[in-house]
Structure 1
């Protein structure tokens, strides 16, 4: 028996201590729709942003010396979640907007397979965000 979904999208949680920069990247630069925020037990706040039908939960945590940062280096540098993908129709414009904003582009726009273009940028915490364009 497999999972019985009641929602046809995912919620993605991103923990950070770099709230203003991360919110500026996801909300202002990428244009994800801000739908609200809520205080979190134990401190901090969660900003909720929509990416199509998926919810991005940007949890700004109090800076604690015990927090372990994510392993740097991108897709092949460590096991676990390494990147997430947004399928978009304006890849060239988004890569330019990211470049103009000083966002690192770790994989420049290129044809990955016939009819499929990709580019990968990093958010302010170094998480990889892939843009995928079909057609």
Structure 2
């Protein structure tokens, strides 16, 4: 019989397939401050290289480069991404949305949606794309007055 008790779960990392591991690693290290290289892995067949990066706040991103990979299609924004099933974007909490949005776009990210009010009262959000077109949502929670 299967144990039906709930289990404890916590976010571990997001994995992003990339065309250029070295360039994307530099961008994520510089733009998001993911300075710690947790692990690197390489396979000869299929030709795959991976790097897991971690920031001081615990955020982890795994970048995977596979020779010959391609993008099925690029999304213009998160509403466009919702046309296809599966993952459309990943999101990070930030304490200063305007600063984070400006910093990421100045670092080579593409602005998608500028900072705007979110559904949750007092919260705000924005979207950017990394240099390879992957959507990242920035979320600033409501601030106490």
TM-score range, shorter chain: 0.7 to 0.9
Deviation at 1:132, TM superposition (A): 0.2
Distance 2:129 2:98 in 1: 16
1:49 to 53, 56, 75: 53
Answer whether contact 1:9 1:53 (CA < 8 A) is retained.
Answer: no
Alignment length, in residue pairs?
131
RMSD: 2.1
Moved over 3 A (4+): 51-54
1:58 to 63, 70, 78: 63
Gap runs ≥5 in structure 1: none
Deviation at 1:79, TM superposition (A): 2.2
User: 2:127 matched to which residue of 1?
Assistant: 120
Gap runs ≥5 in structure 2: none
User: 1:89 matched to which residue of 2?
Assistant: 95
Q: TM-score, length-normalised on structure 2?
A: 0.77
Distance 1:37 1:105 in 2: 30
> Aligned to 2:78, what secondary structure does the other structure show?
coil
Distance 2:58 2:105 in 1: 26
Deviation at 1:2, TM superposition (A): 6.2
Residues 1:108 and 2:111 aligned together? no
Residues 1:132 and 2:135 aligned together? no
Distance 2:140 2:78 in 1: 19
Q: TM-score, length-normalised on structure 1?
A: 0.82
Distance 1:29 1:40 in 2: 25
